[in-house]
Structure 1
Amino acid sequence: MPPLPIANSSLLVRADAGHDKEWMRLVSAVLTENDDGFRAYVEFVDDPDWYEYLPDQLRAALPHSSEPSILFSADEKTLTTEDFPIVVIDLVEHRSSFRSIASELWAIENNLNISNMDWEDFAKCVDSQGIFRGFV
């Protein structure tokens, strides 16, 4: 397995071979600023080498010199579900993954990468489907 690219920002890896139009809509949604001007700062990886990879496999493929504390994955469920529930993968303590809708990814990316908040702050706020939809 080749290593994922080294990046200063968290990666959002496309892990689904289909749904090209949905992938482009997801990229747009992630890059869109919210009403307060916040957005996720991620680098997108759209490479067939990573299609069908599971979160643990992606985590293992990340170079150890990588700076970010989280990794994101867009699998088939992400690309075929309203609000694009992206897989959020912990790179520090390898805790269980959860999902976040695309419009709330900024909160996770912004806060976890600068250690402003903890993993549990988000993980404990997921709904019954395991999806973080914001602090409501």
Structure 2
Amino acid sequence: MTETTLVCDTPSMLTMPDPPCALVLRTDFSNDATWAAVCAASSALSVEGFGATLSFVSDRAFADLSVEQVVALPRVADRGFLFLVDHVTITNPEMPLVVLDLNVEPGRWFRVVPAEMWGVENNLTLANLDFRDFADRVDPDGVFRGFAG
């Protein structure tokens, strides 16, 4: 797990972080223990031994940003997607993170439980599957919990 803290002089200078791995951006700072649990659960290997390659960014400059505000952030690099840890992630017992499309349909998003992040991250990073392959297969509550059968 890589955690990065960025320092920004003013909100107007805020840009999308550019870590070396898939970005997990914290926007809710209400519970540090749950943030740590989300990081641990997201980094855990699957029963098959697969894991997500993630960079965790915890910087209060991003506090309370909406999906729309995150999509609008200037970018240093061409990043296709990112994960957000928002208020729902922190308060829901399943800790579902937002998966946000930044390229094909910027602003389109769905949620994923930490145990399935490895599949989303691996396949989107390698372009084995497209964003819509996951987004179109969420449960009725908008959360991806894996491919059925």
One-letter amino acid of the structure 2 residue matched with residue 47 of structure 1:
D
2:117 maps to: 105
The equivalent position to 2:128 in structure 1, one of 113, 116, 123, is: 116
Partner of 1:16: 28
Superposition misfits of 4+ residues, deviation over 4 angstroms? none
Q: Say if 2:138 is the partner of 1:126.
A: yes
- Residue 95 of structure 1: how far off its partner (Å): 5.0
| Separation of aligned partners in 1, 2:19 and 2:147 | 28
Q: Distance in 1 between matches of 2:36 and 2:76?
A: 29
Percent of counterpart pairs with the same letter?
A: 33
Which runs of 5 or more structure 2 residues have no equivalent in the other structure?
A: 1-11
Query: TM-score, length-normalised on structure 2?
Result: 0.85
CA radius of gyration, larger in: 2
Residue aligning to 2:93? 82
Q: Give the TM-score, by structure 1 length.
A: 0.92
What is the aligned partner in structure 1 of residue 6 from structure 2? none
Unaligned 5+ segments in structure 1 are: none
CA distance in 2, matches of 1:4, 1:69: 12
1:21-36 to structure 2, matched below 5 A, reads 21-36=33-48
Deviation per residue, 1:30-61 (Å, 9 max, x gap): 11101111111111111110010111211222
1:51 aligns with 2:63: yes
The counterpart of 1:69, out of the listed 77, 80, 85, is: 80
Change in Cα spacing, 1:59 to 1:10, as seen in structure 2 (3 Å) is farther
